[in-house]
Amino acid sequence: MIEPAGFGLPLPEDCFRQLFERSADAILLIDGDVFIDCNPAAIALLGCTDKAQVQSLHPAMLSPAVQPDGRPSFETANEMMAIAMRRGSHRFEWMHHRMNGEDLWVEVLLTAIEWQGRTILHATWRDIGDRLQLEAQRQEVEKALQRSEQRMRLALKAAQTGIWEWNIATDHLEHFSDEAKHLFGLTDDTFDGTWATCAKAIHPEDVRRIEQAIESAIAGTTAYAADYRVIWPDGSIHWLAGRGDVLWSEDGKPLTMVGTVQDITPRKEAEEARRRSEERFQAFMDHSPTAAWMVSYEGQMLYINQTYLKMFTLPTPDVVGKSLFDLYPKEVAAEFLHNVQTVIHNRRLLATIEPIPLPDGTIGDSLVYKFPMSDGSGQQVVGGIAIDITDRKRAEEAIQDYADRQTLLNQLAHQIRNSLNLDTVLETTIQAVRNLLEIDYCGFCWVLPETDTPHWEIVQEAKNDHAPSLLGEYPLRLVGDNVVQQLIQQQMVWVDDTAQCSDPVFQALLMESGVQSVVLMPLRTHSQRIGCLIGDHFQQVRPWTERERDLLQSVATQLAIAIDQAELYAQSRAQSEELQHALQELQRTQAQMVQSEKMSSLGQLVAGIAHEINNPVNFIHGNLAHARNYVQDLLALMDLYQQEYLEPTPKIAHYAEEIDLEFLREDLPKLLASMRVGTERIHEIVRSLRIFSRLDEAESKPVDIHDGIDSTLMILHNRLKARPGREEIRVIKEYGSLPPVECYAGQLNQVFMNILSNAIDALEERDQQRSIADQQAEPSTICIKTQVMPDHQVSIHIIDNGTGMLPSVRQRIFDPFFTTKSVGKGTGMGMSISYQIVTEKHGGTLECLSEPGKGTEFVIQIPISKAIAELS
């Protein structure tokens, strides 16, 4: 129980805990990345009917998809929670949505706390207006609660226990466990087995109490139970709890005492810390700027803090225990009691704005929250807090008065910053400023103090009919050195009344121009040019208010940014084109490196597979000849047996008939022959794989081009075969007599693979739209022609009779990342890399000839020898 200072009525701590937990602040708990709990204030703030609508939701699910600053809510929410977990807490502003779709701006404080052995996030939401008061209260109460809970957990944590058995007659400890020795600060060297040694460690103030407890237990009055302190050799003090019982002889004499000793230091420390925490909590409540109270269903005041007494005018400070009708006028007390009973009946938070008298005699406003809670004994009571929002209300009125003007400023800033034309920016700005301030004249000038003839030049103006035009150049000496220095130092210059101007030079200029009031707002661009907004009033004196000067400062800032944008626009266009070209080149190079690495890995894989297949196949193929000879010998032996023994025994005749001997003699040679055909086919496949991978030909060397083409076709054989819904793709070879060509065989095979794969893709895509009859009438074909060219080059033509290409596609066929295939079926790098292999690696050419409806032909020409390629 906690006794509030000065009021006399004890109050359980959990009542204070509930007062905190039912705070008007919206509080939510986040485990992982979802809400696991929230308080009634959060439910009311979101417009929910039950916390179940919030539980298990990610914070982004209660937010718009994108925050007002353009960041995605989901990723940003995860980032905020990660920062909070890393730092321990994180404060930021966030837009949520209420359940009815309304925007809800809150200030969020995420705090990492320990809960049930893991770290979770404690989230507090506040409306922006009153976040400072409510946040301070929530943080302080939360800290006090966390400290209290931590001490409670420490107090409840089980301590290690020592066991002992004491022979009363001999004063010898028959058993004293190692843990018991540790708790007394003893070791095997310092413990002699007697109770007297243990007693020396007991705090002197506790010795007599222990002796009395032992005497009472030996006398049979009570069981042994005592809490006491021990002093360890290092001087530290520890609290122990001793418990034990006496074992009696048959004649009723005490023999031994058996018991335990337990370290209760954490519990004792926790009890002391808890006492101090309760005192601090009470002090916090009394010094909180928020008034707090509790009242019973019948209207009896159970608790108030000191702020309540200061905020509300009461007839007496002795409030606890009194009825509402003793403290307030009858009508006010009746309304108060009605609200209390309504809250208890509805079990829902009630928020109201109620008037409060202020010390200056005026009436202010207070934001009052009343919520149901338990007083610790099971009785339902109402807790409440009240916040003085008088200053906030007055501030809101002042802000509203300025809102329209600020809205216009924001619109102006948006317009000028979205334009990249300097004249348009200046014209828009000065026209808006003149209309906004309702002045006779507004202009913009460039201040040029560093030129041979220092001057300023007014380049844009907006004026009413009776104001003169001031466009043109003017010597800076007419303005005066003082004003020029202020403009250079970016200081605003304003004169409410020309007659009162303290600078005689500037005053003379104003009077000559007929200006009654003037304001000059300088700005500096990124290129260090000095500009100036000019505001003149000719008809009468016009004071410049602080708000207007702040407004001009904001306009000048936005205008400087817009001017910088316009100046940088031309530079950025040229740089953008250069960077775009560099980026494309970088992407192409990166893709080539990736593709090269992939092909290298593929080549190693293919060569490895070919090698592993080749070894067992060679073993099988090599033994087939021997197996055939052995079978022939056995069959000849059977023939000889049949000639020599014309009549076999019945058992042999029966078995020969059972195994169908004649069929075996006829089929076994055929079986061996088919096995030989299979191994030869495997040899061909392995040879094709080895030729395609060309691991041993990483350098340029003379090779048979036809072998590379045939190996590629062998690998693609499965795609060429007929399948359900598609006839076979026929391959026509028209090979010329080619000499060995010096080339990078593996890379050239990659070119063949890319071109042939694309041709098969094109034919398959066309055949999907044709019937089997149409496919049979006009079969899909790929024709491969090779020949020697007169200029010591060889040409390879790969021709398909597919649908062909549009000119726009053909022109880009070799561009990096260009593909006509659907997403996921092509990278757009195959033909680009093929083009580079042919042109850069081999000094040749790669052309694409195609027309819609007439198929496609790729022509590869490369020199026969490397010397010719280098020469070309």
pLDDT digits (tens, 9 = 90+) for 459-508: 999 999 889 999 999 999 998 899 999 999 999 999 999 999 999 999 99
209: tokens are 């109490």
pLDDT tens by residue, 771-802: 888 888 899 999 999 999 988 899 999 999 98
pLDDT mean across residues, the chain:
81
DSSP 841: I
Classify residue 105 as left (phi > 0), alpha (psi -120 to 50) or beta. Answer: beta
Q: What is the DSSP string of 518-529?
A: EEEEEEE-TT--
Residue, of 329 and 78, whose pLDDT is higher: 78
pLDDT tens by residue, 563-575: 888 778 767 777 7
Going by C-alpha positions, the residue among 714, 705, 752 that lies closest to residue 599 is: 752
Gap between the Cα atoms of 843 and 863, Å rounded: 7
Does residue 696 surpass a pLDDT of 50? no
Tell me the C-alpha to C-alpha distance, in Å, between residue 676 and each of 268, 628, 672.
Answer: 92, 10, 6
Angle 397-403-404 (CA atoms, 0-180°, nearest 5)? Answer: 125
CA neighbours closer than 13 Å in the CB half-sphere of residue 375: 18
List, in order, residues 6 or more apart from 606 with CB less than 8 Å away: 689, 690, 692, 693
pLDDT of residue 4: 35
Going by C-alpha positions, the residue among 338, 280, 266, 342 that lies closest to residue 16 is: 280
Stretch among 75-84, 301-310, 409-418 having the lowest mean pLDDT: 409-418
Please compute the mean of the pLDDT values over residues 100-127 and round it to a whole number: 87
How confident is residue 390, by pLDDT bands cut at 50, 70 and 90? confident
Q: What is the DSSP string of 750-763?
A: HHHHHHHHHHHHHH
Gap between the Cα atoms of 69 and 71, Å rounded: 6
Please compute the mean of the pLDDT values over residues 52-79 and round it to a whole number: 91
Going by C-alpha positions, the residue among 791, 781, 811, 812 that lies closest to residue 865 is: 791
pLDDT of residue 806: 87
Please compute the mean of the pLDDT values over residues 135-142 and round it to a whole number: 65
Residue, of 532 and 636, whose pLDDT is higher: 532
Does residue 446 surpass a pLDDT of 90? yes
pLDDT of residue 159: 46
Q: What is the DSSP string of 316-352?
A: -S--TT-BHHHHS-HHHHHHHHHHHHHHHHHTS-EEE
How many residues are given for the chain?
872
Q: Which amino acid is at 111?
A: T
Please compute the mean of the pLDDT values over residues 124-145 and round it to a whole number: 65
How confident is residue 601, by pLDDT bands cut at 50, 70 and 90? low
Please compute the mean of the pLDDT values over residues 608-621 and round it to a whole number: 66
Gap between the Cα atoms of 239 and 207, Å rounded: 13
Q: What is the DSSP string of 584-608?
A: HHHHHHHHHHHHHHHHHHHHHHHHH
Gap between the Cα atoms of 462 and 153, Å rounded: 74
How confident is residue 77, by pLDDT bands cut at 50, 70 and 90? very high
The end-to-end CA distance of the chain, in Å, is 101
Distinct helix (H) and strand (E) counts, the chain: 25, 28
pLDDT of residue 132: 45
pLDDT of residue 798: 93
Residue, of 577 and 177, whose pLDDT is higher: 177
Going by C-alpha positions, the residue among 447, 549, 454, 456 that lies closest to residue 496 is: 549
- Long-range Cβ pairs for the range 241-246 (8 Å, 24+): 242/210, 242/213, 244/164, 244/217, 245/217, 246/168, 246/217, 246/218, 246/220
pLDDT of residue 351: 86
How confident is residue 516, by pLDDT bands cut at 50, 70 and 90? very high
How confident is residue 154, by pLDDT bands cut at 50, 70 and 90? very low
What share of the chain in percent tops pLDDT 90?
Answer: 21
Please compute the mean of the pLDDT values over residues 28-46 and round it to a whole number: 88
Does residue 761 surpass a pLDDT of 90? no
pLDDT of residue 674: 73
Gap between the Cα atoms of 707 and 360, Å rounded: 105
Q: What is the sign of the dihedral through the CA atoms of 159, 165, 166 and 170?
A: negative
What share of the chain in percent tops pLDDT 70?
Answer: 82
Q: Is 539 helix (H, G, I), strand (E, B) or coil?
A: coil
pTM strictly above 0.85? no
pLDDT of residue 442: 94
pLDDT of residue 707: 85
Stretch among 419-433, 574-588, 673-687, 839-853 having the lowest mean pLDDT: 673-687
Q: Is 381 helix (H, G, I), strand (E, B) or coil?
A: strand
Does residue 155 surpass a pLDDT of 50? no
CA neighbours closer than 13 Å in the CB half-sphere of residue 804: 10
Please compute the mean of the pLDDT values over residues 571-580 and round it to a whole number: 76
Burial class (CB in 10 A: 0-12, 13-18, 19+), 845: middle
315: tokens are 């007839």
How confident is residue 410, by pLDDT bands cut at 50, 70 and 90? confident
